[in-house]
Every structure is written in C-alpha cells, then in structure tokens.
Structure 1
Amino acid sequence: MAEPYITDEQDYDAMQLLEIGLELSESEYSEEDEDFIPVVELDSSPRFLLNSDQATTTTVAAAAENINFQEEEVDVEEERNKRRRVEKLGSGGDICCRNGGDDAGGESSQNSQWNRSEFDGLFCPICMEAWTNEGDHHICCLPCGHLFGLSCIEKWLRQRGRLAKCPQCNRKGTLRDIRKLFVPRIAVVDEESQKRIRFLEEKCASLVTKDVDLCKKESEWKRREAALQLEVQKCKERTIYLEHLLGDLQSRPSGLATAYRGSQGHEFRNSIYSDFYRQGSSSCFMLQRELRVDGARLFDVDASGKILLLVRRVPMMGGSHVLTKMSLIPPHESEDIFLPPGTKIIKDLHISPTNGSLALFASLGKKLSVLSMESNNVILSYDLPAAAWSCSWDLNCSHYVYAGLQNGSLLVFDMRITGSPVESRLGHTTDPIHTVQSLQHISTLPSGVKTVVSASSVGMCQWNFGCEEERPFLIPETTNQGVCVSLAYCASSDDIVVSYRPRVEMSNEVVSQTLFMPSPATGQGVLGSHLHLKRVGSNYEKLGIACSTVSGIRLPKSSIIDRQNQKPLFATGDEVSCGLILQELPSFTATQRLKPHQHFIYDVKYTSTHSQGLLGCLSEDTVQLFSTKLS
C-alpha cells in the first residue's frame, strides 16, 4: 500500500505549477475566511508588457482552468483519503488477528469488531500510531470531537488549505480549531465488557453467599465434632476408672483383710466395691477442665469471677514462688504476679469468701500478705515474728484474718489496722500450725467472740478471741490418733475431718513405721486414718473413722462437700492412684474415683454457686476442675 501522504504532496506540487503567476501564502490570508480570492501578481518584464492584452487573456483563461482542475483534484483526493483510511483499518485488524494466532482467519466478525474497538480509542486514525500526552504527536481534537495526533492533523489541514475538513466526518476545520487534550488515558466504555462485569459481580455475590452457608455448616460440624470428642473423652475416662478399679479389687482386698479383720477393714472394702453402684448418683462430678501448669503447689478458685489463682515454684528463679492468675474462660489466659523480695516459699493461699478481688497468703519469709486481684499488687503486708505456715479469712467479719506460725503461735489481724496484730496467742506446743479455719459464730458464745480451730502434729485445737485471754485447748477426740497432717472444715454444715498418719518411733537408731505399706505403682505411702467430727454447740461429736493410705512425707490437703439434702462428701487424694476419691460421710464409703494424675495431689478445694458445685485438685503439672449440679 502506498504511503498516505506521498500522493497528496505530488498533487499539490502539480497544482502550484499550473497556477501561472499565482502564489498562495498562508501569511497573506486568513484561514477562517472561506470567501478568500487569491491575488494574482503580474510579471513586470518588458516581454510581458509588450503582449499585455494577449498575456492577460491567456492568464485569465489559465487561472480559470486551474481553479476547475483544483476542485476536481480535491474531490478525487477526498475519495482517495477515505479509501486509504478504510484500507488502513482493515490492515490493522488483519495485523491484530495475525498476532492473535494462526487460525485468526476463522474468527467471527464479532471478534474483528472487538479487536478494532480495542485500538479505536488508543491510536490516531490518520497514521494508526498511538498518540502521546506530549510532543509532536500530542492527542488533540477538532470542534466536531474527533481525536487525532497533533502532527498528523496539522499536516492534513495545511495540505488542504481553506478547503480543509475533518478526515472522519468532513466537517470544515482549520488549524486554529485544533485543541490539545491533557488526559492520562482515553478509554471507551464497552457495553459487552459492562455486561460481562455485571455477570461476574453477580456470580461473585452468589459464591460469597455459598461460602457463608458453607462456613455455617462447617461451624456446626465442628461443634458436633467437639461434642463427640467430649463423649469419647468421657468414655475413655470411664474405661480408665474401671480398669483402675478392677486392678484395685484384684490386688488390695486380700492384704487388707489380713491386716484389718475388724470393722475398719470391712468399711474400707465396702468403700471400694461401692464405686460400681454410685456412678449414677445425682451428685456425680464430671471433668469440666484439665489445664496444664508447671511447678504448681497451691491454688484457690473464685467461682463467681471465673478466676484460678495458683502458687507455682519457678526453678529458673532459684526455686522461689510466684502467683499465677488464670482465667477459667477459654482460651484460659494467664498472668504471672511476681512477689516482693523476701517473700520466699508460700505455704497457704485463700481467696476471700466475701470479696473475690482479695487473696490472702502466708509465706516462710515471715510475711502475711493481702493481694489485690484487680491490680495484681500486694496492698497489705504484715511482718511476723516467725515464718507463717497457714492463714485464713474470718467467716463472720471480712476485716479479720488469721496466721498460724511455725513456732505454734496464732495471730489475729484487723486489716483496718496495718501496724500490728490485734491479738496473739501461744499454742500448746511449738509445733508448726499447718492449718487454720475460722468457725461460724454460734449463739451460745458472747457477741464479738471469734472461734478458730487449728491443726498441728498433736491434733486439733480450738481458740477463742475477743474474750478474756485463755489458752487454746485440744479437742480430746483428736488426740492419740497419730500425727495430724490435715484438717478440712465445712462452714455450712459444721463437719470436720481430721487426717492422721502413724507416728515414727526412734529406737536404737532404727526407724520403724507402723503399718507401712509400699505402693509399687506410685511410690511409698502409709496406712493412716480419717476422723469425722461434727460441731454441736461448743462440743464436738465423733461420727466415724476409717483407714486410708496417706503420704508419709507431705501434708495432704482435703475438702468437705455439702450436698444440702444429702450426706456430705469428703474429697481427698489417693496416694495409690494419684487421683481424687470422694467418700460419703460419716461411713467414708467411696462414691466416686476421679481421673488420676501423673503425680501426687498437692491441693484440693471446693466452692459452689447457686446451681453448681466446683471441685478442683492440683498436682505438680495439672489442675483438674470437676463440676456437679446442685439440687
């Protein structure tokens, strides 16, 4: 195909040659004047002057002929330009089709129109080259609105002079009509693309709706899976319990029958066999949570605030203790509370029964401290004359707290007085007081008298504060039973259980321990006893006693569960299985054995709300929480 502008320039030169004596200058006429008549300049040479008449006639005729010829050339040129643009568009479309693949010749006319529309808004229709935002080929337009490259349209209009028209619509235009456009990009909205976009948007919305439905179904499946896993876990716990119980039945009764042929051995065997028949009881405890902890020693539970407070031993800190506050709400977030220097080992810990935001703890650093559960700071600390082994809140007045010391003394503090104890008493012996319990006030005592029971190795003592100074007295029923290692008290029912292990007698540097019974499964234990007492007025009534395997070294913890209209339960750790065993009082008949631990049980606590009872037990690396519905 010929170049678009070569023919135009040749025709233009021919027209200039035919115009004898005529010169068209763009500077001498206005391009907007459509009635412009070119000026004819006559030759002033002598030859011309001699033949002036003939020359004039010839010139006029030539000029007329030239004008007619020029008009014909313009018409022919316009036809050529139209044909040339069509050929260029066709060739451009062919190029696009060839670039698209070898089989482009088989594409439909719709595809050809689509390809042509793609570059209609991107290329100059004169030269078919992309226009630019600056330079010679700057994008511009004529008053009719058609777009061109600046250099192309200027050349086009100059060649045609006053007869110049728009190459696309043939509307008259001049150089002064050219307007530059300053745009980042020209894009033509395509209806087919818009329809495609709307279709894809609808499809996307449909997929989003389907995704939401699938997410809901997935959540439901996960919930059902969790419920099934919980059922499987319960079945596994039941299987482990039955296997342990079967092994216990096969290995233990023969030895016990030999050692105890009396009523105590009979009660102990009955407590083992009764496990099979008590599982359907309404007071059955079910495992609610099992949380992993490191170096745990003591704990307490705030049921209303869903908070678990732990005492942990941290080997990296030289074996010192820290407090860890853990939420009972998943994901069970925890926070360590570091104690002031000099606190040392914590021996006892209790959350206030009337104000769950306060916790009381006693330590071997001769400190009795009150911790704020809200700020995680020690807000009150008392200096003690000796190391503290136990502590307790007063059940009748939330301002009073008690501390049992290593030298056998018992101190009373009023938290409104931060300097010193309000009362201090010496005990019967200098043995450490390992347990302190405040008792409910009874009408037989004068107003303002506070009654406290404590436990040391000699047995259980009662202390009366707020009256004339008197020494504590031992409860007769608790003496001569062995070494007192634990005391549990239920404030709502006034039930008390005191635990003992046999005394160690030294003779000729030979240590003999009575009724020593090794346990190959978990280490060594001794056969001790549990004594059940009930407070009646100012006296204590002995209701029952039973033997049990207890630790020969540690001071175990235990708890009493008040079941309101049913007999109370006694919860204590079993040294053989390292699990928690529940026994009905006063017969000490075992009603339930709970999931065993890998290590010995260090602490047991029970608390309740209006509709639920919560029982917790703690070993070195695990804390278990069991729950039951209260009638």
Structure 2
Amino acid sequence: MTDVLEGNSAASIAAPLPTAVQEVVEMSAGEYDGSDVRQEEEQPERAAIAEVISSDDEDAFQPTLARDTTTFIAQEEQLSQEVTVSQILEANTCSVCLEPWSSNGAHRVVSIRCGHMFGRSCILKWLHKDRKEQRAKCPECNQIFTKRDIRPIWARFITAADTSKLENALSETAKMQHDNRLLQSELSNMRLALSMAKSELMRLENETGSHETEVSAPKPPVLNCQLEEKIDLRHDSNIVARALAYDPLAKMIIVAFTNSTPGKQPFHGIWKISLRDTNFKEAVELHSKTIRDVKMDPHGRGYLLSTGMDKTIRVTKLTEGQNSTILSYKLPSPGWTCCWSTKTPDYFFCGMSNGTLLMFDMRNTRHPIGIWEDQSLTGGTPVHSLWYLERDGSTDRDEESIIGATTWVGIFRIHFWPNEYDQEPLRLFPDFYDLQEGRIRAEAVREDIGPNPKDQTCYSFNYDAPSGYYLLSYRSRLATTHIIGHSPSSRGLKRMLVKEYPGGQTALSRTLLFPLDIDRVNHEQPTFFICAGCEAAKCVNLCDQFDSYQRTLPDISNVMDLKWLSPAKSDNLLACLTDTQLLLYSLHFDPEIKPG
C-alpha cells in the first residue's frame, strides 16, 4: 500500500500538459529539450494511478484512497490547464512590443541562441539599438546573441495573426482606390464635355431661332435710366445722411441726417425736400443721437415715425412751417427700424438692437402693448428691417402681422391678435397662445428660404406687400448676394433668383425691390427689379427678377438708402441717398423703334 501511495503522489506531481499545449510548443526548428522522453516516462505513472482507481482489491482503505487521489488529480489538471492557457497567450506575444507575432512578414516569429522567441523586426531593432556593438543581450534572460543567432521558426500550429490576407486586401484596396480616382476623373471630363456640348447646342438653336424670327419678332424694350436731379446735402464736411422716407400725397422726401460740427451741439434730425421745388430744404431736429430709420404714415395723416440710437421712438406731425412731436416712447435698447400698420392706423412696430420687437398703440401713450423677446427667433442680433404684412380677406380680420429680418437668422414673421389696451404690456413668446385673460395672442414663424450664402450675414430686407415679392441681401468682405423671391401664401417663401456681385460691403445700407411696367399698352404684370449699391465699384446695380435686364448707375459712392418714388412728377423716380447727396433717376422702358 505504501508503494501505491508513493506512485500516486509522483504521478500527480508529474501530470502531463494537455495535448493542445504540447502541439503549440512543438517546433520544427530550435534546440531539443527532451520533452518527448519525459512524456514517455510519465505514461506508466498515469497507468499505475488508473490501476489503483479501478482495482477490485477489498482492502478497507482502498475506496477512500481512490476517491482522494482522483480529486487531487482533477484539481491538478484544472490548475495545469489554467496556467497553460495563460502561458499560451503570453507565448503568442512578442515580449519587446507586446504585440502578436505573425507567420510571415516583418514581424514573423524567430528565436535566438537561448531559445526565446520574438518578432523579427523587434529583435533586429533590439540588436542594433547600439550601433557600435554587433551583439546584444536577450530581453528575457540577458544571454549574449548576435545576428547570426536569429533563426526563423516554422510552427505546426500558431495563433499569431496571419497578415498575408490583410496585406493582400490592403493592396487590392489601394488598387481599387486608384482605379476609382481614374474613373472619377474620366467621369468629370465626360460631364464637362456633355455640358459644353449642350451649351453649344443651345447656342446654335438660339442662333437658328433668332435668324428665323429676326424679321417678324419685335425686339424687347430697352430700360432707360436718366439722372433727373442731383441734390447736394453737405453744407459742410460734418453732415452725414442716413435714411430716406417719402410722402406721396405731399410729394415730399424725408432725409434723416446728422450734423456734428465741432464746437456745436450735434444735430440729429431730418430734411424736408419737396419735389415741387428741390432747392428748398427745411431742417427739423427730432432725436438726441443718430436716427436709424424713418417711415411716413401710409394713411395720409402727415405723421413721421422715427427711431434711433437715443433709445426713443417718436411720432412727429409734419406740416408746412410747423412740425411737432405728438408721441415719444422710451425704448430699453437703441431702435434700429420701425414700420406702420397699413390696416390699423394706430398701430406701429419697432425693432431694436438686441433683437427685441415692440408693438405700440397711439391710444396708449404710456408703454408698448406688446413685447417680443425671443433669442431663438432673432438670435439676439439687431432687427434691421420691418415690414407690415398685408393679408387677404380670408384671414382673421383682427390679425396684425409683420415680417422682418435680423443679421443672424434672416427672415421671420410674427402674427398678433390684440384686443385690449389698458393693462401692462404683455411679453410674447415663440409658441402660439390664446390667453383668456390676456390682451394679445401671438405666433412666430422663422422662414426657411434655403441655405444662406457661405460666410455672409444679412444686412437688408425689402418686401412689397401688394405682390408678396421680397428681396434679401447678404454681405461679406468679398461679395454681396441678393435673393429675390415670392411669398405665395401667408406661410412660406419661395426663392426665385440669386444674384451675386463682386466686392464687399461695409456700410449697413439698404437695398430696394420695386415694380416697373414694361408694357403698359397690353397691361402686362409689372416686372420686379433689384436695386443695390456696390461699394467696390462705386455704382448702383439694377437687375430684374428674370435676370434679363441689367443696368449700372455709375459714379455713386457710399449708398445708404434707396427709395422708389411712385407716383412722382410725370415719371417714376428712383431716389439714391449717399452720405452726402440725393440723386433722382427716372426709369422707363423705351419701345422698340421698328426699321422703316
């Protein structure tokens, strides 16, 4: 029994490695370590243990001995397997770079004199880290080796990454990318050739059509622009004009200006210039700082609405020889723009530098009846343009709507439903409200007209209420972009034409959209024109909505504001306000002169 126990103990201590582990470490090259002999010696010991466990001996101690020995052997094998798995993971990793080696390539597995294995590229770098020495120490055991001691290893089984497929895939990918670039270049050339062929075809078709209809087809009328008057506004070098307004009933032009003569108190007011006699100008002081905007009352009462940097908005009664301010409201921020309601004579609106909008009622002389401050709608940037939005008869008759623009978000709309005037001003919010105890319901819409021009900010917005046409202007240091479109309904804007002019724009000048009849005899619909100043070229550019007519008014510098004076005198007039001059142009279409 003692011999049996000793044999069991020896067998348990010398338990063999699993077969998979033996296959991993079995190499076709390298030093022989005699592992096969040890495996053969261990086989009789395992057989002896098996005989003890399966023996039919009736010894009283034998069952207990067999159970204890079996449990011990199982625990030893489990521990051996756990250790072996860890050793396998470590054996497949290069100890220099801690990355798996491969069966081929630069990082293929090699061994050195001591038998330790590394990736070939890593052990070569280790050997040559000291250029003066032609030998190095093993990173594992510090045994000296040279380059001749580096030998490749071919393993029967190896779990290292085989990079041959990856290298082939990368090579194929590079080839496919090269072929793709060639095809893309060929496709671009073919598209360019197709575009040129289409252009040539259209040119030939147009030439053929023009030759066929040259005798019978009338030529389009010619846009004629003629300078009628040039009014000098600068009595001295300290006067700067800023904004324009027009009273069609009184045939009177309003010019807002600032006179900052040294040694005198600055004068911020308006000039009243009559078209009946442009030599006579009457100056009226209104504000204590620069005036940003002026608008004439559309209801023919002779009221002038003005706002400026002194944080006030005023209503002034303009009469011949006597002018008086009848209403004045304090603003929380400088006023940038204002407009009247064309439906309700007592309502007017103001846009301020902080993006806030105010609604006023002339019957409430204490404060505004509505305050709109929504950063998501205006971006907190100045509201530089406001226009009253006329609605058709199918909408709510109590609704008041305005459309405007800021430098950040572009166009927005706000719809109001006021019904009381004797409470504190109601602060309005972006969502739709129907307050039972409040005074105003409101709804805001930010209009989407497509992507804004790249790296440009909105500086002017013009709206023609009867037709629904609009003009939105953007600026940068390199160019100005003008978008003309149409609002087919109370919601939504449709882009029609995008016109770009080279040259930057620094002044926050206003652009103009106006209608002009091309054929009055046949009563055709009027054509809308873009009118915008160009600082770089020192001119005013004109272009119609179809990009068919283009004219340039030369020698006009620093355009601040533009107004379409209709009706005025015998012809329609275009007023161009610079910082020092007021220029009046007559615009009309000359009919075709047929050959005799």
Report how far residue 371 of structure 1 moved. Answer: 1.4
Q: Is the 8 A contact 2:272 2:282 kept in 1?
A: yes
The aligned runs of 1:182-201 (5 Å cut-off) are: none
1:527 is aligned, of 462, 469, 479, to: 479
Q: Is the 8 A contact 1:581 1:590 kept in 2?
A: no
Once the two structures are superposed, what CA deviation does each residue of 1:425-469 show, in whole Å capped at 9, x if it has no partner?
113221110111111112453221111111111211111111744
Q: Distance in 1 between matches of 2:484 and 2:380?
A: 26
Structure 2 match to 1:559? 512
Structure 2 match to 1:406? 353
Report how far residue 601 of structure 1 moved. Answer: 0.4
| Partner SS for 2:449 | helix
The aligned runs of 1:542-557 (5 Å cut-off) are: 542-549=495-502, 551-557=504-510
Structure 2 match to 1:291? 231
Q: Is the 8 A contact 1:613 1:630 kept in 2?
A: no
Amino acid at match of 1:569: F
Structure 2 match to 1:603? 561
Q: Is the 8 A contact 1:460 1:478 kept in 2?
A: no
Report how far residue 600 of structure 1 moved. Answer: 1.0
1:487 and 2:461 equivalent? yes
| Partner SS for 2:572 | strand
Q: Is the 8 A contact 1:501 1:550 kept in 2?
A: no
Q: Is the 8 A contact 1:399 1:415 kept in 2?
A: yes
Report how far residue 527 of structure 1 moved. Answer: 1.0
Q: Distance in 1 between matches of 2:548 and 2:449?
A: 21
Once the two structures are superposed, what CA deviation does each residue of 1:41-77 show, in whole Å capped at 9, x if it has no partner?
xxxxxxxxxxxxxxxxxxxxxxxxxxxxxxxxxxxxx
Amino acid at match of 2:462: A
Q: Is the 8 A contact 1:303 1:614 kept in 2?
A: no
Q: Distance in 2 between matches of 1:358 and 1:339?
A: 13
Once the two structures are superposed, what CA deviation does each residue of 1:341-366 show, in whole Å capped at 9, x if it has no partner?
xx311111111222261111111111
Report how far residue 484 of structure 1 moved. Answer: 0.9
1:432 and 2:382 equivalent? yes
Task: Tell me: CA distance 1:463–1:361, structure 2 relative to 1, closer, same or farther (3 Å).
Answer: same
Q: Distance in 1 between matches of 2:340 and 2:502?
A: 30
Q: Distance in 2 between matches of 1:302 and 1:463?
A: 27
Report how far residue 479 of structure 1 moved. Answer: 5.2
Amino acid at match of 1:386: S
Q: Distance in 2 between matches of 1:550 and 1:398?
A: 41
| Partner SS for 1:355 | coil
Structure 2 match to 1:576? 536
Task: Tell me: CA distance 1:528–1:630, structure 2 relative to 1, closer, same or farther (3 Å).
Answer: closer
1:625 and 2:584 equivalent? yes
Once the two structures are superposed, what CA deviation does each residue of 1:292-351 show, in whole Å capped at 9, x if it has no partner?
0022121222233122211111121455522111222236211211235xx311111111
TM-score (norm 2): 0.52
Q: Distance in 2 between matches of 1:528 and 1:628?
A: 24
1:591 is aligned, of 532, 547, 550, to: 550
Structure 2 match to 1:614? 573
Q: Is the 8 A contact 1:570 1:588 kept in 2?
A: no
Task: Tell me: CA distance 1:536–1:444, structure 2 relative to 1, closer, same or farther (3 Å).
Answer: farther
2:411 is aligned, of 457, 460, 470, to: 460
Runs of 5+ consecutive residues of structure 1 not aligned to the other structure: 1-260, 263-278, 503-524
**What RMSD over aligned residues (CA atoms) do the two structures have, in Å?**
2.7
| Partner SS for 1:476 | coil
Task: Tell me: CA distance 1:550–1:348, structure 2 relative to 1, closer, same or farther (3 Å).
Answer: farther
Structure 2 match to 1:419? 366
Tell me which structure has the larger Cα radius of gyration.
Answer: 1
Higher helix share: 1
Q: Distance in 1 between matches of 2:220 and 2:283?
A: 40
Task: Tell me: CA distance 1:612–1:493, structure 2 relative to 1, closer, same or farther (3 Å).
Answer: farther
Q: Which moved more, 1:375-384 or 1:326-335?
A: 326-335
Structure 1 match to 2:474? 500
Q: Distance in 1 between matches of 2:588 and 2:547?
A: 22
Amino acid at match of 2:555: P
Structure 2 match to 1:372? 317
Q: Is the 8 A contact 1:442 1:537 kept in 2?
A: no
Amino acid at match of 2:466: S
Q: Is the 8 A contact 2:339 2:386 kept in 1?
A: yes
Once the two structures are superposed, what CA deviation does each residue of 1:401-432 show, in whole Å capped at 9, x if it has no partner?
11001111111111122221122211322111
Task: Tell me: CA distance 1:629–1:552, structure 2 relative to 1, closer, same or farther (3 Å).
Answer: closer
Task: Tell me: CA distance 1:364–1:627, structure 2 relative to 1, closer, same or farther (3 Å).
Answer: same
Once the two structures are superposed, what CA deviation does each residue of 1:556-589 show, in whole Å capped at 9, x if it has no partner?
211111125232111111223322221101x344
Structure 1 match to 2:489? 537
Q: Distance in 1 between matches of 2:462 and 2:312?
A: 24
Structure 2 match to 1:446? 396
Q: Distance in 2 between matches of 1:392 and 1:630?
A: 32
The aligned runs of 1:122-137 (5 Å cut-off) are: none
The aligned runs of 1:202-213 (5 Å cut-off) are: none
Task: Tell me: CA distance 1:501–1:476, structure 2 relative to 1, closer, same or farther (3 Å).
Answer: same
Q: Distance in 2 between matches of 1:449 and 1:282?
A: 43
1:338 and 2:285 equivalent? yes
Structure 2 match to 1:397? 344
Amino acid at match of 2:461: L
Structure 1 match to 2:149? none
Amino acid at match of 2:452: N
Q: Distance in 1 between matches of 2:587 and 2:232?
A: 22
Report how far residue 596 of structure 1 moved. Answer: 2.3
Q: Is the 8 A contact 2:268 2:290 kept in 1?
A: yes
Report how far residue 544 of structure 1 moved. Answer: 1.6
The aligned runs of 1:191-270 (5 Å cut-off) are: none
Q: Distance in 2 between matches of 1:451 and 1:551?
A: 33
Structure 1 match to 2:260? 315
Q: Distance in 2 between matches of 1:331 and 1:471?
A: 45
Task: Tell me: CA distance 1:282–1:380, structure 2 relative to 1, closer, same or farther (3 Å).
Answer: farther
Once the two structures are superposed, what CA deviation does each residue of 1:506-545 show, in whole Å capped at 9, x if it has no partner?
xxxxxxxxxxxxxxxxxxx521311122111122111121
Task: Tell me: CA distance 1:616–1:311, structure 2 relative to 1, closer, same or farther (3 Å).
Answer: same
The aligned runs of 1:80-119 (5 Å cut-off) are: none
Structure 1 match to 2:444? 472
| Partner SS for 1:609 | coil
TM-score (norm 1): 0.49
Q: Is the 8 A contact 2:530 2:544 kept in 1?
A: yes
| Partner SS for 2:293 | strand
Q: Distance in 2 between matches of 1:424 and 1:331?
A: 40
Report how far residue 378 of structure 1 moved. Answer: 1.4
Structure 1 match to 2:100? none
The aligned runs of 1:347-386 (5 Å cut-off) are: 347-355=292-300, 357-374=302-319, 375-386=322-333
Q: Is the 8 A contact 2:488 2:494 kept in 1?
A: yes
